[in-house]
Structure 1
Amino acid sequence: MVRSRGGCSNCKRRKRKCDETRPDCQACQRRGIQCEGYNTPLKWTNGIASRGRFAGAAIPDLNLCGGSNSSAVEDTAAASSTSSTRARTATESPSQVVIRPKSASVSSPGGIEGASQHSSSPGSSAPVSGPARAPVQVPTPVPGEGPAPTPKPAGAAAPPAAAPVSPGASNDPNRQLFEKFLSAGLHRLYTTESHSWIQSHFRTMAKRSRAFFVVSAAIQAYLDDGFSVAAMEHVDHALQTFRAELEGRHDLRDISTMAAGILLCTLCLLQARPFTMYLQLISGLYQLETRLSVLLPPTGHDFATRHSIEVLAVMDMHTSVIGRVAPSMGVWRRLRRLQDTWAEGRLPGIEVVSGLPRSFLDILADIADGSRQEIEARLWAWPGEIGIHSQCVLWDCWRYTAVLEARRLERRKKTAAAGALGGKEVEVAGDASPELSPPTEVVMCRLTASIYALHRAVRLPANQHLLLHNGLLYPLVVAGLEVPLLMAHPEWKEILDDLRRSFLCKDSFHAMKMIDEMLTEAWEDGTDVFDIDKAARNRGIEVAVF
């Protein structure tokens, strides 16, 4: 048997001939095994992480590892190597992250000059430590939130002291990139004002975690130079620094390390690389499924811990990702059920990643599992929140988009069921339209009108400080799949095309280019049942739309 060189991962590993059928090869199907596909997963580390007793392991469990050899730990807090081979490693031959809990001496995270200890947040909004999205205005204070630190849960590690800043620190390339990230790149990742408390919070988190600081710099390097050798060297250095920090804190992990891992996922999603499997690794590392109540006790829980878990929960939502590789873990619903046991109940106010009210995210978290009738009824009955006028228009965009998404998912279920029955028409549970629910054409009209209003509003000179434009990506994608309606109403398509052009001009990263490519493919398909998730998986990508 000839070894397969272009086949799926299973056939390569077993040295079998692969027919290279997509999405799953027939050789794997005949053997009753799950085809691992043709894409190489993103490499989170290299060098010594590829060998040793935990080589290839997802978690540091000796019972799951056969080897007993160990390797020395490199000090990755030093300056990044200029080797282009390492840059190619980060981009061309990725592999899964390796976490080794070996006791090792890892240099303390470097401090950030002028870092503030804590930042004041408006209303009930919280500092952001992931791919940050923040509300412009939050009217209702959330119990327990504020600039003062709260006690950490038992067993949590105290943040390491910041290293003194050297006189030549301003010449450090990482520091220059980090400062530029705070003033420019960070504005791509949230939906509030350009000058807010978020910048000072990122300084604080970078002081607690060297990995957080280096990953932030790597994101800015990628935004500046794309997949250039220099940018990929920063990415490679960030991956190694994150791994070293995990090793150095294997028994007492500070929550800032989780935030650094979430930022690494942000770097993946900007490149349209799969990242949901890494969310699962982070969740498993911090045992969110079994220890969530320990990490977030009813009283005295750590604010940064709760915020980081919220960030991960939003990234984990079904509606947040196109072409999802790993299934949603349901972290948001688990978190809200835990809050039901608190004396104050579920937290109100705005969640900072999406800029959406938490009560609205409760509906989005159920959209993939609930019936269309139930989801639509909840969406139309949702009372909303108080915010500035542009913010309220953005929420309307998301409400109409969620209605269209619920109906699109129902159409896909019908199409899949009809295909299984040889084209016979089938009924899907919850198929009946909710009472007083408007037709899809009316919903689409209201959505495009809201997009038009918000897109024009943020262009006004008085609103140049607003970043609400970033929140229109999800409405753009879902509306762009309603191809028959766009063909019937060219003026609606013109509105969406104008928005697409603005995203392409502003956002040069790979994810936006992939979204544009898939929406063009949907238009050429000419139907309203185009499977954009399948199109993303065929390309070996995951695209975040939150």
Structure 2
Amino acid sequence: MVRSRGGCSNCKRRKRKCDETRPDCQACQRRGIQCEGYNTPLKWTNGIASRGRFAGAAIPDLSLCGGSSSSAVEDTAAASSTSSTRARTATESPSQVVVRSKSASVSSSGGIEGASQHSSSPGSSAPVSGPARAPAQVPTPVPGEGPAPTPESAGAAAPPAAAPVSPGASNDPNRQLFEKFLFAGLHRLYTTESHSWIQSHFRTMAKRSRAFFVVSAAIQAYLDDGFSVAAMEHVDHALQTFRAELEGRHDLRDISTMAAGILLCTLCLLQARPFTMYLQLISGLYQLETRLSVLLPPAGHDFATRHSIEVLAVMDMRTSVIGRVAPSMGVWRRLRRLQDTWAEGKLPGVEVVSGLPRSFLDILADIADDSREEIEARLWAWPGEIGIHSQCVLWDCWRYTAVLEARRLERQKKMAAARALGGKEVEAAGDASPELSPPTEVVMCRLTASIYALHRAVRLPANQHLLLHNGLLYPLVVAGLEVPLLMAHPEWKEILDDLRQSFLSKDSFHAMRMIDEMLTEAWEDGTDVFDIDKAARSRGIEVAVF
């Protein structure tokens, strides 16, 4: 008898010839037994599972899989997605993915609607969460790892208990990317120093939100490999995981999910993709316009909540984005007005993402609404705050940059008014009143001197832990638009070119290349009225400079 190689499972097991009749073969029917069909049966054999809910386990027992079971659905979804679908989804924005799956729409009362299961095409399956499912957790960090929390973070809510680490956790690509992100990619996203409470805060958020964990890993994958297929697969998985978390949490609105959404916006801005409209969606989802006082009560407010809202507020500022698609919502000003009602008043100190004192950010938040004279008066009168010497130089860079920005905005307003009058010139108000500020050329000189000093200070071995270099992008862009002054002073342009090249050599992401391209276009334009916002919008991009 010839063994059947394409027959039903019964015939192959018994080494009988099978006539391969479907749905049941006649050989089984003649023997009065149930034909087991023609699908290849899957069975658990000796060895270690490499993926899925049993990753790292020797037997298929959920009770022994610990932390790895929490990511089972996400891992399975990521493994089953085809490359074409991943590439398509990776090019979509976070809100497009949410809308496509009918999830997370905001109702008239502010709640989350549309939590029904989404239907997706074959190969594009996404992790699915239900209302009864607890938020997935990631393995706990090694005890003693990471810096101790600062007094500022002492009021943060205690994180939930961490799930036990599975034997295969160290082989999880997302885990490896997340650990690398904490000590590499994360350092590109804020402007204080490398050893701070930020790492421990990110670990806490990753325990509370699977999406936060996966998006962090996706950012590191993008920083490592750009638009490669492997990196875009991580981005696709991050979008799907965030979508599923929005569906599953319903009205819980855990702040860690907001933080994950902000990280997705960060992923967009690294790619120079528009993201301000997604900030508006997050704001609407958490009702920041009406429920800010509920999220941040005068007493006992959560540190993680305050920090997340503060970061969103900085990203929402008028000066933070070139080519803004959605207008600023004024979140920073609302947040500071709320703090005025607290017993301790407005919070002092330095905001960690921008690296700037909160009192200085108060001025920047008004730069597009107040007159140039008022802004300049406040900038020159700003007393500063206590900080290390390099920080103080950075703050001076931003002070001079804000003066130049206020004057640039005034020039744009005059040009717009002239166009409205049919090309007639609008009477100029002069460069600035002598008692308020020096001429633009002097301000530019002081700015380039401060950039020169800080750019070299951060290269010293003693300052390797400082991340203040990240804060020089906004001064670089605004100073680079003062083309007539740079033509008159080639040594200033040389300083800016040196800084520009350092950014290009360190940051390979798309946003920096777009900045370089637009500054080159401004130089070729040869005037001080080049509209960089218009240049960004014509490219369909938004560029963050904070």
Q: Provide TM-score, normalisation by structure 1.
A: 0.75
8 A contact 1:212–1:260 mirrored in 2:
yes
8 A contact 1:115–1:200 mirrored in 2:
no
| Offset of residue 76 of structure 1 | 7.6
1:256 match: secondary structure: helix
Q: 1:110 to 1:13 in 2, by over 3 A?
A: farther
8 A contact 2:269–2:544 mirrored in 1:
yes
| Offset of residue 44 of structure 1 | 36
Runs of 5+ unmatched residues, structure 2: none
| Offset of residue 433 of structure 1 | 3.0
Structure 2 match to 1:354: 354
8 A contact 1:133–1:191 mirrored in 2:
no
8 A contact 1:126–1:352 mirrored in 2:
no
Listed one character per residue, the Cα deviations across residues 432-470 of structure 1 (whole Å, up to 9, x for unaligned) are: 636241000000000000000000111112222211111
Percent pairwise identity: 96
- In structure 1, distance between residues paired with 2:10 and 2:429: 37
8 A contact 1:90–1:236 mirrored in 2:
yes
8 A contact 1:125–1:138 mirrored in 2:
no
- In structure 2, distance between residues paired with 1:17 and 1:422: 91
8 A contact 1:274–1:541 mirrored in 2:
yes
Q: Which segment drifts farther, 178-187 or 147-156? A: 147-156
Listed one character per residue, the Cα deviations across residues 164-185 of structure 1 (whole Å, up to 9, x for unaligned) are: 3210100000001111111211
| Offset of residue 40 of structure 1 | 43
Listed one character per residue, the Cα deviations across residues 66-125 of structure 1 (whole Å, up to 9, x for unaligned) are: 999999998987657452431233127986242699999999999999999999999999
Q: Which segment drifts farther, 89-98 or 171-180? A: 89-98
Structure 2 match to 1:418: 418
2:96 match: secondary structure: coil
Q: 1:108 to 1:356 in 2, by over 3 A?
A: same
Q: 1:284 to 1:396 in 2, by over 3 A?
A: same
| Offset of residue 57 of structure 1 | 41
- In structure 2, distance between residues paired with 1:31 and 1:398: 87
- In structure 2, distance between residues paired with 1:162 and 1:148: 18
8 A contact 1:130–1:266 mirrored in 2:
no
1:98 match: secondary structure: helix
Q: 1:65 to 1:13 in 2, by over 3 A?
A: farther
8 A contact 2:182–2:199 mirrored in 1:
yes
Listed one character per residue, the Cα deviations across residues 462-500 of structure 1 (whole Å, up to 9, x for unaligned) are: 222211111100000000000000000000000000000
- In structure 2, distance between residues paired with 1:379 and 1:21: 85
Q: 1:68 to 1:55 in 2, by over 3 A?
A: closer
More helix by share: 2
Listed one character per residue, the Cα deviations across residues 23-63 of structure 1 (whole Å, up to 9, x for unaligned) are: 99999999999999999999999999999999999999999
Q: 1:10 to 1:117 in 2, by over 3 A?
A: closer
Q: Which segment drifts farther, 96-105 or 152-161? A: 152-161
| Offset of residue 353 of structure 1 | 1.3
- In structure 1, distance between residues paired with 2:311 and 2:184: 21
Listed one character per residue, the Cα deviations across residues 388-416 of structure 1 (whole Å, up to 9, x for unaligned) are: 00010000000000000000000001111
- In structure 2, distance between residues paired with 1:434 and 1:21: 97
- In structure 2, distance between residues paired with 1:318 and 1:33: 75
1:440 maps onto 2:419 in alignment: no
1:434 match: secondary structure: coil
8 A contact 1:272–1:511 mirrored in 2:
yes
1:78 match: secondary structure: helix
Listed one character per residue, the Cα deviations across residues 140-170 of structure 1 (whole Å, up to 9, x for unaligned) are: 9999999999999999999665433210100
| Offset of residue 364 of structure 1 | 0.1
User: Bigger relative contact order, structure 1 or 2, given CA contacts below 8 A and separation 6+?
Assistant: 1
| Offset of residue 198 of structure 1 | 1.6
1:153 match: secondary structure: helix
- In structure 1, distance between residues paired with 2:370 and 2:25: 32
8 A contact 1:398–1:475 mirrored in 2:
yes
8 A contact 1:124–1:145 mirrored in 2:
no
Q: 1:135 to 1:441 in 2, by over 3 A?
A: farther
8 A contact 1:58–1:97 mirrored in 2:
no
8 A contact 2:351–2:358 mirrored in 1:
yes
1:72 match: secondary structure: helix
8 A contact 1:54–1:62 mirrored in 2:
yes
- In structure 2, distance between residues paired with 1:44 and 1:258: 40
1:314 maps onto 2:314 in alignment: yes
* Count of aligned positions: 546
2:370 match: secondary structure: coil
Listed one character per residue, the Cα deviations across residues 200-220 of structure 1 (whole Å, up to 9, x for unaligned) are: 221111111100000000000
- In structure 1, distance between residues paired with 2:54 and 2:182: 36
8 A contact 1:156–1:254 mirrored in 2:
no
- In structure 1, distance between residues paired with 2:40 and 2:535: 17
Q: Which segment drifts farther, 151-160 or 362-371? A: 151-160
1:137 match: secondary structure: coil
8 A contact 1:394–1:468 mirrored in 2:
yes
8 A contact 2:110–2:287 mirrored in 1:
no
- In structure 1, distance between residues paired with 2:133 and 2:457: 19
Listed one character per residue, the Cα deviations across residues 308-329 of structure 1 (whole Å, up to 9, x for unaligned) are: 1000000000000000000000
Q: 1:411 to 1:342 in 2, by over 3 A?
A: same
1:337 match: secondary structure: helix
1:154 match: secondary structure: helix
